[in-house]
Amino acid sequence: MTAYIIRRLLLIIPTLLGIMVINFFIIQTAPGGPVERTISQLEGTLRSSTARFGGGVQSDTIQNSSITVSTSETTNSKYRGAQGLPPYIIKEIEQMYHFDQPIYTRFFQMLGSYLVFDFGSSFYRDQSVISLILEKMPVSISLGLWTTLLVYLISIPLGIAKAVRDGTAFDVWTSGVIILGYAIPSFLFAVLLIVLFAGGSFFDWFPLKGLTSENWSELGVFDKITDYLWHITLPVLAMLIGGFAGLTMLTKNSFLDEINKQYVMTARAKGLTEWRVLYGHVFRNAMLIVIAGFPSAFIGILFTGSLLIEMVFSLDGLGLLGYEATINRDYPIMFGSLYMFTLLGLLLNLIGDLMYILIDPRIDFEKREN
């Protein structure tokens, strides 16, 4: 097992490198980068000043992003919209974002910094990338952890009940509820919850924004817990509605597959109770794929499922941070987040494989590879 873990850890290196290479070169060569964004801001300021003084500005200077712009000297540029800026200004902007260097040089410099978890600072926020991620992470972890736990707590018992009652009225109407929940987008359900329970048109039972109240630090321990649960109820419910459908059907199908096997018939022929057959024999085998997938399910909900929910409920988490970084072309946040979350996802995939062995010791990945 030790050799298998070492091989998997070594495999993370080329996988992570490949993901970073592909994303870096695609994003860096896409139009609308930070240089173009800054040029657009300067051009907007320049046009505003020109209009203010009736077009008579010939040598005025404009200060923006620590760059002094003189309108007395202009040139053509490879950047769209930069025709009104002098060449030395374009050069200063490129140096500020390190775009004066070849793309491969920027990549290897970034990779060298990332090896020691130095992700630099945001282009547009006066804060380091790692501090921003750590600041936003509690919100996303809260949503992801509670949603994943509730999904499993609901899906596993419901899937087992559907398998045992396969083809009955209970199985039919619960399948209808699951299909309906799966068909409704989580953000649409979030809007519905706000309308119903957050002061929309009916009840005003839950807060509309934030993870805690403004006076949370002044509350006692019990009141802090209550306030936190009060704020997180609607966001978690919105993410939960579509999350349990796939896992419920996976649990049901896994149980049905095991129930029809010979060892189950043998256990029943020996006179074992149905409870002993289901939870003493079937459960471990049927739950292997379900429980072992917990790390992957958590990472998926944590980093991909909460973006729209964070926006609807005004929760300042990782999803909203990544969205704003993408819109603003804030490359340090984009690539730093990608590196951290890809590495975390690869490690959780390894943990998921190890959980197979904990659940069923008969599995041996080393023998399977030989």
Residue 54's pLDDT is 54
- Residue corresponding to tokens 């419920």: 248
Q: What is the C-alpha to C-alpha distance for residues 296 and 349, in angstroms, rounded to an integer?
A: 6
- CATH superfamily label, 129-369: MetI-like (1.10.3720.10)
In a 3-state reduction of DSSP, which class is residue 241?
coil
CB within 8 Å of 71: residues ≥ 6 apart: 46, 50, 57, 58, 59, 60, 62, 84
What was the pLDDT predicted at 78?
Answer: 61
Strand partners, 64: 67
The pLDDT score that the predictor gives to residue 116 is 87
Neighbours of 168 (CB within 10 A): 12
Helix (H) or strand (E) holding 64: strand 61-64
Q: What percent of the chain has pLDDT over 70?
A: 81
Closest C-alpha among 122, 140, 133, 125 to residue 317: 140
Half-sphere exposure for 187 (CA within 13 Å, toward CB) = 10
Report how far residue 282's alpha carbon sits from residue 153's, in angstroms, rounded to the nearest whole number: 18
Phi, psi of 62 (to 5 degrees): -125, 130
- Half-sphere exposure (CA, 13 Å, Cβ side) for 271? 0
The neighbouring-strand residues paired with 68 are 63
Give 176's contacts (C-beta < 8 A, 6+ positions apart): none
Distance CA 71, CA 327 (A): 29
Q: What is the pLDDT of residue 364?
A: 64
Q: Tell me, what's the pLDDT at 63?
A: 44
- Rounded distance, CA 146 to CA 240, Å? 9
> CB of 32 within 8 A of CB of 336?
no
Please give the Cα distance from 232 to 211 (Å, whole number): 6
Cβ(344)–Cβ(155) below 8 Å? no
Domain boundaries along the sequence of the chain: 35-115, 129-369
SS3 at position 128: strand
Provide the pLDDT for residue 14.
92
Buried b (16+ CB within 10 A) or exposed e, 130-159: eebbeebbebbebbbebbbebbbeebbebb
Taking the C-alpha atoms of residue 17 and residue 82, their distance in angstroms, rounded to an integer, is 34
Smallest CA-to-CA distance from 274 within 161, 362, 156 is with 161
Calpha distance 284→360 (Å, rounded): 7
Q: What residues of the chain score a pLDDT lower than 70?
A: 43-85, 200, 242, 292-293, 296, 300, 302-306, 359-370
The reported pLDDT for the residue numbered 163 is: 87
